[in-house]
Amino acid sequence: MALTETAPRLRPVRTGQPPARRRDDSRLCRTRTQRILLAVAFVAIVAFPLSVESAFLISLTGTIGIFALAALGLNILSGYAGQISLAQSIFVGIGAFAGVALGGLAELPLLVWLPGTFVAGGLAAALVAPLTLRLKGVFQIVLSLALIFVGHYAFINLPALTGGNGGISATPSLSLGFIDFGELTVAGMRYSYEQGLFILIWLVLAASMIAVVNMHRTRFGRALVAVREAETAAEIAGINAARVKVQAFVLAGAFAGLAGGLLMAQLRYVQAEQFGINMGLELLIIVVVGGLGTTWGPVVGAAVISSIPVLATQYAEHIPFLQADFSQSGEIGIPVGQVGLLIYGLALVLVMVFEPRGLSHIFGAGGRSLLRLARRARTTSEPVLVPQPHAHLGGKA
């Protein structure tokens, strides 16, 4: 009896009423909950850095935002368009050095130099796109490795812009005129450069994510996925496959460039060495581990992949089997500097083997089931209890 009674009550809750008007999937927020969450996120971007004092935490979360931004770009290319590249780091570097040139050397305002890094990354990508997109699979990956080596050569041999091997420092302006993220003052309180920069980084990231979601859910995004899944059929449907692939590559480079500009602003010192194969690999691992072709994958991936090595370095003495440095030779342990590589490798292997859809899928599934539980608890707070049927069955058994 209990079963037949509860079933009709629960069903509409689980599956949702068939909407009277069909839902428009191109909208940014499909439910009220999403709209509220989006607003909360924007408030948090401002409130978090202003209420957190730890410089370590601010710089860590800032770094996560920067890597998430670069990974967001790579996700367009690898997740949506299905092209693999290890060379995303080179475009980050191009953005960083463009930022040095525009924001540091030329002392241009924020509204010029930051978009400038976006354009620089995009232009550089447009330059190599015709070549790399003609290739497939292994050739494409090896070519992306080649871009890293050639890019590195270019970086160290343009010392006027990059400082050569030694690197170059820059102090770009973070001022929008009416508001200066570099020396933020709210209600008489002065905040640090890092706190202001955090807000800038995460606002740029949020805007970029919204832009990417908008693209993904409309004509351009569908074209990308269609080309990935069946290129000929996509062409027959009127999609210029070559063009959308180039666009994806340019967008990937542009977001990488933007991330590079912000990285330059965060470190105020950049060096060619940073933008090598390790960063390229890290970014690829972020998108794969976070979840290819997902909205939150780059952020989740960056939060996990980029923060663990930093945390390990910070708390090395409290973690067993970690060596803070090499002075204690003879002692068995993993040097702190290697934790990054270890985590990247381990995370990549585990995700590929156990959950190729990535961490954001795991988190998403977890979140949805929590939400379901919460809703069930709310709707069943009246007399009809969900466990009843189970109790009956248990009684019979």
Partner 1 sequence: MMLRVEALTLSFGGVRALNEVGFEVAEGEFFGILGPNGAGKTSLFNCLSGLVAPTGSVTVEGTELLGRRPHEIAELGVARTFQNLGLFGSMSVTGNILVGAHRQISGGALSAALRWPRTFRSERQARERADELIDLLGLGAYRDATVDTLPYGIRKRVEIAKAVASGPKLLLLDEPVAGMNHEETDQFVEFVLELKARMGLTIVMIEHDVPMVMRISDRILALDFGEVIGVGTPEEIRHNERFISAYLGTPAGADAPAEPQLHGGNR
Partner 2 sequence: MTNLIQLTVSGLSLGILYALVAIGFAVLLKATGHFNMFPGALVLLGAYLTYQFHVLWSLDFVLAVALAAILCAALGLAGERLLFSRLGGKGHRSIEHLSVLLVSLGLISLAQAAVVSVWGPLTHLIEDPWGLSMIRFGGVAIAVRDLWALGLSLILLAVFYLVIQHTRVGVGMRAVASDPEAARAQGVNPHVISATAWAMCSAASVLAGMMLATEMGGGLVPNLDQIAFSALPALILGGLSSLPGCIYGGLALGLVQTYAAGYAPESMGQGFASMLPWVVMILLLVVKPSGFAKTLETRKA
DSSP string, 286-341: HHHHH-TT-SSHHHHHHHHHTHHHHHHHHTGGGSTTEES-SSSTTS--EEHHHHHH
| Residue 214 is a binding residue for partner 1 (CB under 8 A) | yes
373 with 387: CB under 8 angstroms?
no
Residue nearer to partner 1 on the CB measure, 215 or 303: 215
Alpha-carbon distances of 159 from 9, 105, 108, 170, 241, rounded to whole Å: 71, 13, 20, 14, 39
Interacting partner of 25 out of partner 1, partner 2, none (Cβ under 5 to 8 A depending on kind):
partner 1
Give the shortest CB-19-to-partner 2 separation in angstroms.
28
Q: Which two tokens stand for residue 108?
A: 């241009």
Nearer to partner 2, 80 or 193 (CB): 80
| Residues in contact with partner 2, shown as a per-residue x/- string from 185 to 224 under the rule CB under 8 A | ----------------------------------------
Question: Which is nearest to 172 in space by CA: 123, 115, 255, 251?
Answer: 115
Query: Residue 219 binds which one of partner 2, partner 1, none, with CB within 5 to 8 A depending on kind?
Result: partner 1
Is residue 126 a contact point for partner 1 (CB under 8 A)?
no
Residue 84, contacted partner among partner 2, partner 1, none, CB below 5-8 A by kind: partner 2
- Euclidean distance between CA atoms 172 and 95, whole angstroms: 13
Which string of DSSP letters, residue by residue, matches 88-148? HHHHHHHHHHHHIIIIIIS---HHHHHHHHHHHHHHHHHHHHHHHTT--HHHHHHHHHHHH
Residue 219 as a binder of partner 1 (CB under 8 A): the answer is: yes
Q: How far apart, in Å, are the Cα atoms of 168 and each of 50, 157, 172?
A: 30, 13, 13
Residue 254 or 281 with smaller CB distance to partner 1: 254
The answer to the question of residue 392 lying near partner 2 (CB under 8 A) is no
What are the two backbone dihedrals, phi and then psi, of residue 225, each rounded to the nearest 5 degrees?
-65, -40
293 binds partner 2 (CB under 8 A): yes
Question: Please, what is the angle between helix 307-314 and helix 55-75, to 10°?
Answer: 160
Overall residue count recorded for the chain in this entry: 397
393 belongs to the binding site for partner 2 (CB under 8 A): no
Nearer Cβ to partner 2, position 262 or 299?
A: 299
**Residue 184 or 215 with smaller CB distance to partner 1:** 215
Binding to partner 1 by residue 212, rule CB under 8 A?
yes
Subset of 248-267 contacting partner 1 (CB under 8 A) = 251
Does 215 interact with partner 1 (rule: CB under 8 A)?
Answer: yes
| Residue at token pair 């069930």 | 376
The option from partner 2, partner 1, none interacting with 230 (CB < 5 to 8 A, set by class) reads partner 1
Q: Does 319 bind partner 2 (CB under 8 A)?
A: no
Q: Could you say whether residue 123 binds partner 1 (CB under 8 A)?
A: no
DSSP assignment string, 383-395: S--THHHHHHHHH
Which segment (183-191, 260-268, 331-339, 378-386) binds partner 2 by CB under 8 A?
331-339
**Binding flag, residue 167, partner 2 (CB under 8 A):** no
**Residue 116: is it exposed, middle or buried by C-beta count within 10 angstroms (0-12/13-18/19+)?**
buried
Residue with tokens 């709707």: 379
Q: Scanning residues 117 to 146, which ones bind partner 2 (CB under 8 A)?
A: 131, 134-139, 141-143, 145-146
Q: Is 225 near partner 1 (CB under 8 A)? A: yes
Binding footprint of partner 2 on the chain (CB under 8 A): 78-82, 84, 131, 134-139, 141-143, 145-146, 149-150, 152-153, 156-157, 164-165, 228-229, 277, 281, 284-285, 288, 291-293, 326, 329, 333-335, 337-339, 341-342, 344-349, 352-353, 356-358
